[in-house]
Amino acid sequence: MDHGSEKVLTKNGASYVALIDARKLDYYHALEEEYANLVLAQAALDGLEDVAAGRILSDKELDELLSTPARKARKKA
């Protein structure tokens, strides 16, 4: 495969498999990892904002919330 050339194989007229350079695949994997780290960092910041704003539950409140009938019904399904 020539440097920088990608090939797309189709199945029933729709994209099915892409052949790309291994370096580009490594780059895409690095981007995915970076994005996952950013999402995790944002979730941590959101949690800290919740704590600072007083949006917290006690252990007892959380246990009660998690044991509601709707949650129990979903477990059975």
Q: Is the pLDDT of residue 2 over 60?
A: no
Higher pLDDT, 64 or 71: 64
State the residue range of the domain holding 38.
22-76
pLDDT digits (tens, 9 = 90+) for 4-42: 689 999 999 999 999 999 999 999 999 999 999 999 999
In a domain, 2, yes or no: no
Is the distance from CB of 46 to CB of 39 less than 8 angstroms?
Answer: no
The Cα 67–Cα 41 span in angstroms is 29
Single pTM value for the model: 0.60
In a domain, 39, yes or no: yes
Outline where 1-77 has alpha helix (H). 22-52, 59-66, 69-76
CA distances for 49 relative to 3, 14, 52, 61, 65, angstroms: 47, 44, 5, 20, 21
In a domain, 5, yes or no: no
In a domain, 67, yes or no: yes
- Give me the number of domains the chain comprises: 1
Beta bridge partners of 18: 8
* pLDDT at position 51: 97
Q: Is the pLDDT of residue 1 over 60?
A: no
